[in-house]
Amino acid sequence: MHNYTLQTNRTDALQSIISSGATTATLVGGNFGSPAGRQMLVIDYDIPNLLEVVRCNIVGSTLTAMERGLDGTTAREHLPNAKIMMAFVPSHYEPLMSLLQNGWVSLTPITLTFASSDVNTFVATASADPRTMLSVGMRLRVTQGTDRFFIVTGLTASNVTLYGGTHSVLLNAAINNPVYSSHKAPLGFPVDTAVWTVQTVHSGSLEAVAPTAGVWTNPGGLSISVPIGAWDLSWQASMGGWRTGTTTTILGTLSTTNNGSTNTHFNSYTFIEGANAVISTTIEAGKTGFVAHSTRTTHFLNISTNTAGMSAIGFSGHVSPTIIRATSAYL
């Protein structure tokens, strides 16, 4: 959305003729000053069949980068001394009306071009710094044959990183009609958390036999690849083990390495003590936490024990599915 400086009904005039394709012009008086940003002007406002709405930069008496024939008008030739007014036109209020009606606002004047893809994460190059209009967590809708919906997960001075979930793919093709929203659920945006969730599910039994006390292992290579952005990350599993003795300890965690515990917030711990006998235990374990990544990151579901002499430890997915789940924290 543009930020306009509205000097209602202030007027000026053209110093010389401009053609229908001209993108620059000179004013007689420079009466609009030098307002920041692009502004809306009406040329020949007093002659209905010549009236034209333009958007341009204004620096004193000089108009540059003119966008012609806006708001339903037609680009045409205008003669010297044609009257110009800074009037209230549809471009001032239509974005607000759209926001009130459906939650979406045009990204104009910024345009987007496909740059790259990584599974369901995409990068688009912006024609101007997108941080002037977008922030991480906003929704974006574009048209590529059909409407496609994304969450903004990263921004630089020239790029926008987008997550399309299970719903949308950004094609290496023209990106049309980009609109954005800071609303939770602008019109048409899919709010089903399943759309914005990545998960790994395993229904088998995975064991580490004769584990070494104090050493983390990653049975079966269980992991999840978490895209760029902020995520509510969790794991749940039937975690167990057995040995002959008086105690057992079993620990589970999600870690960015397959042989350690890199974030203790994801650690789950169980301890069982009893008579000297064969001790077998299975518990429903798991943890939930928050992560934020600037690159795609793998998290491994690891298991360990602090007890020497354990016969085996592992995850019993055949009892209850082992699940690692990441849901976008921007919902």
How deeply is 65 buried, as exposed, middle or buried, from its count of CB atoms within 10 A (0-12, 13-18, 19+)?
exposed
What mean pLDDT value characterizes the chain? 93
Question: Once rounded to an integer, what is the mean pLDDT over residues 187-194?
Answer: 96
Q: Examine the fold and report which residue of 191, 208, 240 is the final residue of a domain before the chain moves on.
A: 191
Domain shared by 241 and 320, yes or no = yes
Q: Examine the fold and report which residue of 35, 70, 92 is the final residue of a domain before the chain moves on.
A: 92
Decide if 296 is inside a domain.
yes
Per-residue model confidence (pLDDT) at position 278: 67
- Provide the 10 A C-beta neighbour count for residue 17: 13
Decide if 290 is inside a domain.
yes
Domain shared by 202 and 324, yes or no = yes
Q: Examine the fold and report which residue of 171, 191, 211 is the final residue of a domain before the chain moves on.
A: 191
Domain shared by 174 and 238, yes or no = no
Domain shared by 80 and 184, yes or no = no
Domain shared by 175 and 217, yes or no = no
pLDDT band at 248 (very low <50, low <70, confident <90, very high): confident
How deeply is 197 buried, as exposed, middle or buried, from its count of CB atoms within 10 A (0-12, 13-18, 19+)?
middle
Decide if 62 is inside a domain.
yes
Any idea what the CATH number is for the domain that residue 143 is in?
A: 2.40.30
Per-residue model confidence (pLDDT) at position 281: 80
Domain shared by 24 and 115, yes or no = no
The answer on pLDDT for 193 being more than 80 is: yes
Nearest to 253 by CA among 220, 288, 229: 288
Question: Once rounded to an integer, what is the mean pLDDT over residues 103-122?
Answer: 94
Per-residue model confidence (pLDDT) at position 202: 97
Evaluate if pTM is beyond 0.85: no
CB 196 within 8 A of CB 165: yes
Any idea what the CATH number is for the domain that residue 288 is in?
A: 2.60.120.40
CB 85 within 8 A of CB 10: yes
pLDDT band at 166 (very low <50, low <70, confident <90, very high): very high
Decide if 3 is inside a domain.
no
Domain shared by 183 and 153, yes or no = yes
pLDDT band at 319 (very low <50, low <70, confident <90, very high): confident
Report the C-alpha gap between 258 and 260 in whole angstroms.
6
pLDDT band at 38 (very low <50, low <70, confident <90, very high): confident
Domain shared by 143 and 28, yes or no = no
The answer on pLDDT for 91 being more than 90 is: no
Output 210 or 248, whichever has higher pLDDT: 210
Decide if 99 is inside a domain.
no
Domain shared by 211 and 302, yes or no = yes
Percent of the chain at pLDDT exceeding 70: 95
* Single-letter amino acid code for the residue at 2: H
The number of folded domains in the chain is 3
Domain shared by 229 and 313, yes or no = yes
Nearest to 263 by CA among 233, 219, 226: 233
Decide if 98 is inside a domain.
no
Per-residue model confidence (pLDDT) at position 325: 98
Domain shared by 72 and 36, yes or no = yes
pLDDT in tens, 263-285: 999 999 988 766 565 677 888 99
The token pair that represents 33 in the structure block: 């000053």
Domain shared by 298 and 223, yes or no = yes
| Range with lowest mean pLDDT among 27-41, 138-152, 271-285 | 271-285
Per-residue model confidence (pLDDT) at position 276: 61
- Provide the 10 A C-beta neighbour count for residue 19: 11
Residue 96 CB contacts under 8 Å (≥ 6 apart), including other chains:
none
Question: Once rounded to an integer, what is the mean pLDDT over residues 303-319?
Answer: 93
Decide if 259 is inside a domain.
yes
pLDDT band at 21 (very low <50, low <70, confident <90, very high): very high
Residue 72: give the domain boundaries. Answer: 10-92
Decide if 1 is inside a domain.
no
Question: Once rounded to an integer, what is the mean pLDDT over residues 45-66?
Answer: 96
